[in-house]
Structure 1
Amino acid sequence: MLPPSAKLYLASALYNWCLDRGLTPYVSAKVQGARVPRGYDQDGVIVLNLGPEATNRFAFEPDGISFQARFGGKVFDVWLPAENIIAIYARETGHGIALPDEMFTAPEPDGEPTPPEGPEEKPAKGFLRVVK
């Protein structure tokens, strides 16, 4: 299984990609377990502008994203746990990446590689086969 922070590495990469290209990074996240203002979500999901103009004290932390933003003219401390992130994308183009939980919950391998299925040919070292 990928470490829980893998979502944040991917989100951080897309965030920086947006900023490098002059685009506005947006995140879609589940509100349950997050610290977000009430009433700004739709069906338990909130979409937030992560651009430097919209946030203060923005940080990718080891287990989530934190920043301050204004909602209805009031400053609010936002906390998005890594597992709540659904997608991060550029507002202007829609280009980005979806980060569904299923990508990060694969079972741990048992430590023993599984030999490939197919012809009875002896697999090469590491269970790779030469295909002709």
Structure 2
Amino acid sequence: KRLVVPDYSAYFSVIPAIGRTVSEANPDMKCATPEYCFISYLDPEYKERDISIEYNEAVVAMGNDVDGIFFREMPAVTVVAVMHKGAYVDFPQTYAFVMDWVEKSGYRVAESPRESYIDGVWNNTSEENWLTEIQVPLEKA
């Protein structure tokens, strides 16, 4: 689903609402195992407010599209991936590291960066233990 969120804290209400909407329209829907979801950022640069995102979740079968939520098969993409452990407010340093690596390694960014949240507020109250995989799709420069 593509949407604009007012700020990053909105994820805590928006993402569960998407899940409820999909479940109501597709009561037998099952997520892929292992679970995999990610958020892609659609704005050309970093923003603190009114952020355009696309939320994706892997499922075992296509379902019924509902309320702007649609099912599709995504092509494979080459990414550089970095594991970020700690608070989300520290993402800028991790992104700076990744973008520096991309440039120095002869690549360029091919698509919007992605964040796959592995451990977070839903399963660990300590921010220092939160784990996010930051993925940057790339191609040779």
TM-score by length of 1: 0.29
Of the two, which has the highest radius of gyration?
1
Task: Please state which structure has a larger fraction of its residues in helix.
Answer: 2
